[in-house]
Amino acid sequence: MSSQASISPGVLKRRPVQKRIATLITYTLLGIGSVITLFPFAWLVRSSFMEMSQIFIVPPEWIPRPFVWQNYPDALTTVPFGLYFLNTVKIAVGVVLGTVISSALAAFSFSRLRWRGRDLVFGILLTTMMLPYAVTLIPTFILWSRLGLVNTFTPLIAPAWFGAPFYIFLLRQFFMTIPYELDEAAYVDGASPLYVFSSIMLPLAKPALIVVAIFSFLGVWNDLLGPVIYLTDPNKFTVAIGLAQFTGMYTAQWHLLMAAATVVILPVIILFFLGQRYFIEGITLTGMKG
């Protein structure tokens, strides 16, 4: 009590000035950081409006002359991007839904339920991320071709419904930061684990679930290796294959590649912009002692 009384007057006077300086520093750092991080994107966009000869001029130029708007319609028609967008969205919806649901369930089990051998099984799951993809690639492909599912979306979607170790680990870490008292109170009231999962854990871990959704969407959107290996029918190709075609089929038409790349990353930017709104400051644990 007494210490609070002695601090209060000083705090009241100093706070506004300190706050203003802190805000100023924040804006300065954000400004500098933005310039640095915007660099790759700015370079991509300016290249998308240039003729191929200007892109690699040394030293680089930042203003396209002339402004080649035509790159965009050209890029989007030489490769059937409409179809590729549709295919990729189909895969993405399946993968994102599957990943979020199955990984959250598994993470709940690995962090909150008690069963024999739990931590060992979790460890084994983690190891699947540690073996380089390149060596399991061929055995995995042989597996899918034996199942007769090559050239369908199944090899790209089905595994997502069985949980992805990366996201299980991520969500487990988030679940473990949630106070145990909340589950215990619910269990005392006779709740089932499924109820605790869906009514306590999921709402509190919303930011983490958004992260899983954004990452898994981006994973599908940028995945080149998977579609290249499993899809042979051009009617099933994805946007990543579409981008790659500019460097293969047409021997590196960089100006078209840059225009197509700009269009392709737009949905991801929009999705991130919408998703990050759920990262709002601090959860409030009502009815909890501080």
Q: How far is the CB of 26 from another protein (least distance, A)?
A: 6
User: In whole angstroms, what is the distance from residue 143 CA to residue 146 CA?
Assistant: 5
Which of 1, 2, 3, 9 binds another protein (CB under 8 A)? It is 3
Q: With binding defined as CB under 8 A, does residue 248 bind another protein?
A: no
b/e burial code for range 181-211 (CB count within 10 A of at least 16 → b): ebbeebeeeeeeeeebbeebbbebbeebbbb
Q: With binding defined as CB under 8 A, does residue 214 bind another protein?
A: yes
- Strand locations in 158-232, DSSP E? none
Which of 21, 86, 93, 126 binds another protein (CB under 8 A)? It is 126
Which residue, chain included where needed, has tokens 């409409």?
82
Nearer to another protein, 68 or 214 (CB): 214
Helices (H), 223-277: 225-230, 239-247, 254-275
Residue 11 exposed, middle or buried by CB count within 10 Å (0-12, 13-18, 19+): exposed
Nearer to another protein, 69 or 162 (CB): 162
Q: With binding defined as CB under 8 A, does residue 81 bind another protein?
A: no
Nearer to another protein, 68 or 125 (CB): 125
Q: With binding defined as CB under 8 A, does residue 111 bind another protein?
A: yes
Helices 2-48/254-275 angle, 10° precision: 150
> Which residues, 87 to 106, sit near another protein by CB under 8 A?
102-103, 105-106
Q: With binding defined as CB under 8 A, does residue 276 bind another protein?
A: yes
Q: How far is the CB of 183 from another protein (least distance, A)?
A: 9
> Which residues, 223 to 242, sit near another protein by CB under 8 A?
none
| Residue type (1 letter), 220 | V
